[in-house]
Structure 1
Amino acid sequence: MKTSAKTRIATGALGAAVALTLGAALIPGERTPPAATGQVRLAEIPVSATSLKDAIHALTVRLQRLPEDHQAWAQLGSAYVQQARVTADPSFYPRAERALARSAALSPGNFAALTGQAALAAGRHDFAEAVRLARLSQAANPYGQGAQAVLADAYTQLGRYAEATRAIGRMMELRPGVASFTRASYDAELKGDRAEARRMLEHALDDAFSPTDIAYCRHYLGELALHAGDLRGAAEQYRLALNAAPDFTPALAGTARAAALDGRLADAIDLYGTVVGRLPLAQYVIEYAEVLVKAGKDPSQQWALLRAQRDLMRETGVRDDLTWAEFEADHGSAARAVEHAEAEYARNPNVVAADALAWALHRDGRDREALPYAKKATATGWRNALLHHHRAEIERSLGLAEEAARSAARVRDANPAFSPDLPALARFS
């Protein structure tokens, strides 16, 4: 990989939201998507990249004076985990690993280090290990919300939805707030209850107090509207998010999505250029490339950036077969898509992984094998237009006309603005 591409990935991102609660431990807490992007959302109180940088500096200075402070080492490691997410630079993960290992060595079994190590495992997409470590943290401190946050996220990624719901319930008991309400919103969304999902986000917004908290909640209200086909409502929520925190990149990405789905491709391209310059996440890069293709422009620069990002993630221990399964199925090799999708589903059998495997098998001409996975992907009641579209296409290819018509109707019901030409924009960010 060229050094310039690595540097762009490592340094190009500013203004995303992460969570940082500096106390006994840092609490990861954001809504976990079934990874629209292959990423796990982990945050509690969104703060700026600058705030994280300042926190890391302060902790580093403290540890120069007090090198035996195991809690400061745990906080530093957890801050590096969040910094990796806020900058889309996974090279922070090895630093996190070293700091957390130092904390554990100084105080074996301390819950702050265990929580940080669980969040690190989740960041690297090792969700089974994240569960193991979070359970150890929970045993060490039954009142720690951070362990419940990681459990909720990891169980969701593992397709263990009942256990995720229980972990969210425990978070609510311990401390209702942005972290627990946004997770509860996603939990309701997975079950097809958009009204409850919106209500939980509105509770989160009521609890929000900082500009980035507000932007964070407004952004997800925008996502709910966008994926229900309400482009005007979505754009308004993104606007309010950016009013609260002008450098909140996810809301700018949402604005770009709404513009693209509304047919304003030139506006969307300009916005995506800024988004990817700030935060070159795979999700945003793929969205940008798809909009360029729809506008008749060359996406090759974005595909090169995506490959560079993939290489950097591999080098730093992040395994993300989901993103590459989705990418290869839509834009590359169907055979490679199947390989990635099978690997992802074997580790993380959630509804999005089931959908990715179904779609990869369909693109590889293996529709009979694909259909059971398409049914699994749509089994929770989630009103996700992309999942139902994939199922409709598989059923149509198998000559199941009535079933395909029902699935197509569910697509229209879920999202009247859905565009099969822009599949990445239908994935949840």
Structure 2
Amino acid sequence: MSAMENEQEDPERRKRSARRRRVLIASVAGCAVLGGVLALLPWARPAEPAPPSPGALALAAVGSGVPAALPGLAELIDEREKAVRTRPGDATSWAVLGAAYVEQGRRLADPAYYPRAEKALRTSLKVRPQRNTRAVAGLAALSNARRDFRAARRWGEAALKLEPRRWTTYPLLIDAYTGLGEHKAAKRTLDRLTELRSGPAVLARAAAVYRDRGWQEDAAASLADAAAGARAPAERAAYLERAGQLAWERGDPEVALRHFREAVRLDPGQWAARAGQGRALAALGRTAQALNVYGAALAKQPCPQYALELGELYESLGRPEAARVRYGLLRERVRDAAAGGADEELVLGRFESDHGDPKAAVRRLRAEWGRQPATEVADALGWALYRAGEPEEALRFALRATDPVRGGGVRDARSMYHLGMIERELERYGAARRHLAEALRINPHFSPLHAPAARAAIEALGEPPDEGVPEMDDGAG
């Protein structure tokens, strides 16, 4: 190519090169700007892991022995029912399903879940008969829910033998020992549990043992720590409900009400806390609100104990017909419990003592005492004997129920009231006056029917006689 041709092409070549440089610069700049924009856009960040589903949370809760939320339990049950239909040889799914049924039945006070739970757990054992600790422990939990504490102790000890370091078995055994009145065994089991594990679930279990031994301050502190350390709302709500119940027993309805309300806020399905609200509101004189929340709790969790409490509240307000409706529900729920293999003889015996046939109550509670001689059964049997006209024998059981050495260290206002009334009948007026006053000092609102009766009894007993200081003989040294 000639020099002239080169000179003619150079301007054109220079123009093309300049255009390429401008495009390249624009492209680099555009990429830089786009990269900056992308860095600012939230959808360009690495995706955060999705939160676990309610069913997954329930599975974790059921597996670790902590309370689960009702929606999560329903989802977990649905998942596991599908799993065992497609894989009937899956022993783990059968055991998880059984444990979920137990928890659902307990949370809803619906004993119809218990036969289903037993079938699932026994199927798991049939599929895997050796070293199936999950199913064996599930049967211990089921027995506790049914108030069959002898069976719970048997299954719990079997599960512990299979895996001595499986910490979730220990709370099941503590419940069983407590239900049988074996308080020393319960304390030893708690000591072993605390060596193996710490955390909110263990603190809550320790609080129950402390409460039974009369260590109220320790129980309250443990529950506060458990609630503060709980991760899931349903778990924290359960511990707050127990803290509210403890505050109620100590005669502080305002603190109890705060705990119960917070529990319901965290877990709207915490019906035990709603019943607790009713108890506290009635004590504070807010009876219309008390009736409303009690009614809501009873509609969703038709527990016989709530029916008795609400019936007695209606009775104290001079509404016997409304009370009879709730007492009828109590009888119906006790029959349903029996059909599901659950034992509600204790609450039925209490009801019969005050509102039915005291002699029938004695028969029922003697049988219950033979099955599981717990402190609360001793108290109920003593009161039934008193109401049936047998105060001498009644005193023996009432003293047993309030003896700290033999497990009666709870400092329960109702038990002290029962003891005081029995002593008054036996003309032990000094002791009666002291124990009736102690009942009202522990909890002035322990019952809408019996707290006023305690006040009336103290007033009828009058002041203790002023005997003065005995004079000494002249010859005394």
Helix, strand or coil at the partner of 2:346: helix
Give 1:420 shift: 5.8
Match of residue 291 from structure 1: 313
Contact map agreement 1:385 1:415 (CA 8 A) in 2 = yes
Give 1:382 shift: 1.8
Give 1:296 shift: 1.8
Give 1:22 shift: 6.8
Residue 253 (1) aligns with residue 253 (2): no
> Which residue among 50, 57, 68 is the counterpart of 2:78?
57
Contact map agreement 1:286 1:306 (CA 8 A) in 2 = yes
Match of residue 127 from structure 2: 106
Contact map agreement 2:95 2:120 (CA 8 A) in 1 = yes
Residue 342 (1) aligns with residue 366 (2): yes
Match of residue 90 from structure 1: 111
Deviation per CA, 1:60-80: give whole Å up to 9, x if none.
222233221111111111111
TM-score, normalisation: structure 2: 0.78
Match of residue 310 from structure 1: 334
Would you say how many aligned residue pairs link Structure 1 and Structure 2? 390
> Which residue among 244, 255, 258 is the counterpart of 1:233?
255
Give 1:27 shift: 5.2
> Which residue among 232, 240, 244 is the counterpart of 1:222?
244
Match of residue 6 from structure 2: none
Contact map agreement 1:20 1:28 (CA 8 A) in 2 = no
Letter of the aligned partner of 1:296 in structure 2? G
TM-score, normalisation: structure 1: 0.86
Contact map agreement 1:130 1:150 (CA 8 A) in 2 = yes
Query: Which is greater in Rg?
Result: 2
Match of residue 394 from structure 2: 370
Match of residue 354 from structure 2: 330
Give 1:379 shift: 0.8
Contact map agreement 1:20 1:79 (CA 8 A) in 2 = no
Contact map agreement 1:26 1:112 (CA 8 A) in 2 = no
Residue 175 (1) aligns with residue 175 (2): no
Match of residue 47 from structure 1: 68
Letter of the aligned partner of 2:369 in structure 1? Y
Helix, strand or coil at the partner of 2:250: coil
> Which residue among 370, 385, 389 is the counterpart of 1:361?
385
Deviation per CA, 1:91-115: give whole Å up to 9, x if none.
1111111111111111114111100
Give 1:21 shift: 7.9
- The structure whose RCO (Cα within 8 Å, separation 6+) is larger is 1
Residues 27 and 333 of structure 1: CA distance in aligned 2, closer, same or farther (over 3 Å): farther
Letter of the aligned partner of 1:276 in structure 2? L
Residues 20 and 302 of structure 1: CA distance in aligned 2, closer, same or farther (over 3 Å): farther
Question: Matches of 2:286 and 2:193 in 1, distance apart?
Answer: 41
Deviation per CA, 1:386-427: give whole Å up to 9, x if none.
00000000000000011112212321332233346158xxxx
Question: Matches of 2:163 and 2:357 in 1, distance apart?
Answer: 47
Match of residue 138 from structure 1: 160
Deviation per CA, 1:231-286: give whole Å up to 9, x if none.
21111222222232233222211111111112222221111111111111011111
Give 1:312 shift: 1.1
Structure with the higher fraction of residues in helix conformation: 2
Helix, strand or coil at the partner of 1:299: helix
Question: Can you give the 5+ residue segments of structure 2 that lack an aligned partner in the other structure?
Answer: 1-54, 452-477
Question: Matches of 1:174 and 1:57 in 2, distance apart?
Answer: 33
Residues 116 and 192 of structure 1: CA distance in aligned 2, closer, same or farther (over 3 Å): same
Helix, strand or coil at the partner of 1:145: coil
User: After the TM superposition, which of the residue ranges 56-65 and 251-260 deviates more from structure 2?
Assistant: 56-65
Give 1:351 shift: 0.8
Over the matched positions of the two proteins, sequence identity in percent amounts to 36
